[in-house]
A and B are shown apart, each in its own frame.
Chain A
Amino acid sequence: MNSLFPILAIVRKDISVWLRQPTSIAATVLPAIAFMVILYFGAQAVGRNPVALVVKDSGPHAQELINILSDSGAFKVAMITIAPQKAEDALKQVKVAAVITIPSNFDAAYNAKKPDPVTIHINNLNLDFTNDLRRSLPAAITMFYAGQSAINGNNSPIQIRVKETDLRSQDIDLLRFELVPNLVLLLTTAGIVNAGLATAREWEDSTIKELLLAPISKATIIAGKLLSGWITTLLIAAVVLAVGAASGYLRPADTIYWISTLVIVLLLALASAGLGVAIGAAARRFQRVTAIGIPLSIDLFFLSGGITVAAFLPTWLQTIARFVPTFYGTHALQTAIFYSSTEGLALDISVLGATALVAGVLGVLSLRKSMLA
């Protein structure tokens, strides 16, 4: 009980100082905001390349293919013309990514079952865009044949049908999916930077002397620092979760998934705060804390999936990701919030619990060492 009041005093002081320091708040939220901006713009542009269509045949089959290409989720038809030069100029001026030309004998060749090539001229700047375009025209041709199948029944030349089974009840769009790693980034940045700055401040402002001369134990000081870092991080998490739940973007479907979400957030915040105290006590300077803390948080963010989907990474990179604690936090949160599942939750909680413990011990040892020095 004797230690409780000094601990609470340290917590109150650290939180008050944090609230009065706009640069600390900026350091916490800026990286996450930056990535949110990225995600927003990324989600707008993904997979919809502008193309020009050159239509030299006005027959019904050609028209059908044009309709399929125009409605395709893979293209953004920026121009439909009968003048090939106009389309080629647009390609040269980088206004479109490709020119698709439907030849003048398209319908005749199709009806005569003769080779009927549709030309796609691709600005093959890089494989990501180029492969999207390479996939998209054949996909449209397949849809064309599927349409013929609907008209002609089993007379369609393509007799392979796809039976798709999805493992998840819903597809999550890119923006929503990436909100979770972004939340994890916010938690790690908040924990590491805030707890780090609050600890380093005692040396930077020379107030560590007063703390050491105060009639309280070193354990009390350490507990106060850890607790203040944890609470500051949780304050930020609470705001994000409240906004996420209110907007529906981050709303677990059931009480049990709310509980698992909160447990994961608590553990992530504790691990980050412990690491922050360790870095702050070792660095003892604001600039060093931000120079180490922010890149470290971003490293963890990328290595745990970051702005992509971890399952699509090469196997060797997935193996590395499994050694990164935030990977488990991201996985557990995505599973609970989006898929209403507890798949792998025991492992996720175990890894995060162990990480929080190790980070806490590191924080204690680092702070203790610096105080003794």
Chain B
Amino acid sequence: MVTSIIIPINFLLLFLLFALTGGQAPTAIVLEDKGPYAQQFLSAMERSHSFIIQQTTNADAQNLMKKGQIVAIVTVPASFDSLLRHGKQAQLRVVLNNLEVDFTNDIRRAVPLAITSFYANAFPNQVVIRAHEVDTYSHDTGYVQYLVVSLMVVSVMLGGLLQAGSNAAREYEKGTIKELMLAPASLWAIQIGKILGALVLNSLSVVVMIIVIVFLIGVWPEHWDELFAFVLLLMITFVALGSLIGTLVRRRQAVIPLSIGLSIPVFFISGAFGPAIWGDQVTATITQLQPVYYGIAIFQHAFHNFTTTSTSPAINGFILAGFAAVIVAISALTLINGRGRGVVH
């Protein structure tokens, strides 16, 4: 049981570390000119949502780059103000630690963004085209606050698979499956009982996760009723899936890698970082065939009131309920069909 609590929480915290990069590049800016235009350019860089800026000397910047603590140095030349005032060309020197292309391209796009927004403020009559932003939601939601909700779904999945999978596999490892099979009860009742037992145990891990997300990380649900209703539905789905896996592999040793190996890729293709339909079309189509996609959509609605799928939250709920019913049925049928397979030695 400890495993089914610790492993999902561990995942939750590790993925949050990944979110901390937040697409902002640690950057040193060297102002060789301290004039008003240079200062305005520095402000434009700070407002570009792209850099974590340290203003340093050239020597310090080189030192930070050498230590790997920054990935870019932007140098504003000594004659910056004077050149711009006279309408002459000024050269901005940008040194990049181009380790990987995506992160590097973010910087390559962000420097022009800073230049354009600098011009829009410093020379409003020269650069007349500017981006006018309108946002759908009244406030921005941080990457961590968004991701943590998706992580909750994968944590419920992982906890359910580990708990129910281990419980089911243990019956075969210990040979107690024989007693269950010979008991004067229907196999449906036995499997439903096993699912309910695992559900109760799994609820401990889910409660711990809700406490971490709501009270430690501070992401407060907008719809508590949706959260509780759908967390229960998700638990039933994944506990039933765990029972199915445990019944099929019959070894606890295999349940852990299988659960982790299944949960992580499914989580990534299900729209954990943003709506799945914004990504690759093939993936977006495939992901709609499994429950985590709908789970993430429902949880994003419960926590942030977001719509992340083209189907409504109510439809997503019905689809999820359908998945739960089908997986519970398959899990019970697998136990019934596999009764002749015996125990593991």
Contacts and interface: CB of A to CB of B under 8 A. Distances in A.
Interface residues of B, number: 111
B253 A286 contact: yes
A96 B310 CA distance: 10
Contacts of B131: 117-120, 134, 137-138, 141
B331 to A, nearest CB: 21
Interface stretch (B190-198, B204-212, B265-273, B320-328): B265-273
Contact of B128 (A65, A110, A154, A299): A110
Contact of A97 (B10, B88, B111, B278): B278
A159 B89 contact: yes
Say whether chain A's binding surface is mostly helix, strand, loop, or mixed.
helix
B264 A38 contact: yes
Given A119-B134, A120-B132, A162-B94, A45 B278 contact: yes
A248 interface: no
A26 B23 CA distance: 34
B128 A113 contact: yes
B277 A121 contact: no
Interface in A250-291: 286-287, 290-291
A171, A197, A294, A303 interface centre (most CB from chain B within 10 Å): A171
B137 interface: yes
Contacts of B146: 125-128
B10 A299 contact: yes
A27 B84 CA distance: 62
A59 interface: no
A161 B273 CA distance: 35
Nearest to B25: A312
A363 B244 CA distance: 36
Contact of A165 (B94, B115, B119, B134): B94
A87 interface: no
A311 to B, nearest CB: 5
B337 interface: no
Interface in A318-356: 318, 334
B275 A302 contact: no
B224 interface: no
A168 interface: yes
Contact of B23 (A118, A132, A145, A334): A132
Interface string A139-166: 1011111000000001001111111111
A141 B116 contact: yes
Interface in B252-280: 252-254, 256-258, 260-262, 264-265, 268-269, 273-275, 277-280
A122 B50 contact: no
Nearest to A144: B129
Contacts of A154: 89
Given A26-B258, A31-B261, A120-B131, A94 B119 contact: no
A226 interface: no
A14 to B, nearest CB: 16
B306 A125 contact: yes
B285 interface: no
Interface in A51-79: 65, 73-74
A193 B106 CA distance: 38
Interface residues of A, number: 103
Contact of B88 (A46, A159, A312): A159
A130 B68 contact: no
Given A135-B106, A314-B20, A94 B132 contact: no
A270 B97 CA distance: 32
B215 interface: no
B265 A31 contact: no
A159 B22 CA distance: 31
A3 interface: no
A160 B89 CA distance: 6
Contacts of B90: 159-161
Contacts of B88: 159
Contacts of A26: 254, 257-258, 261
Given A30-B261, A124-B135, A135 B113 contact: yes
B69 A318 contact: yes
Interface stretch (A172-180, A210-218, A236-244): A172-180
B127 interface: yes
Interface string B84-128: 100111111111111111111110111111011111000111111
Nearest to B90: A160
A5 interface: no
B243 interface: no
11 contacts: A97-B274, A116-B130, A124-B140, A126-B146, A129-B273, A139-B110, A139-B116, A158-B127, A163-B94, A164-B108, A312-B26
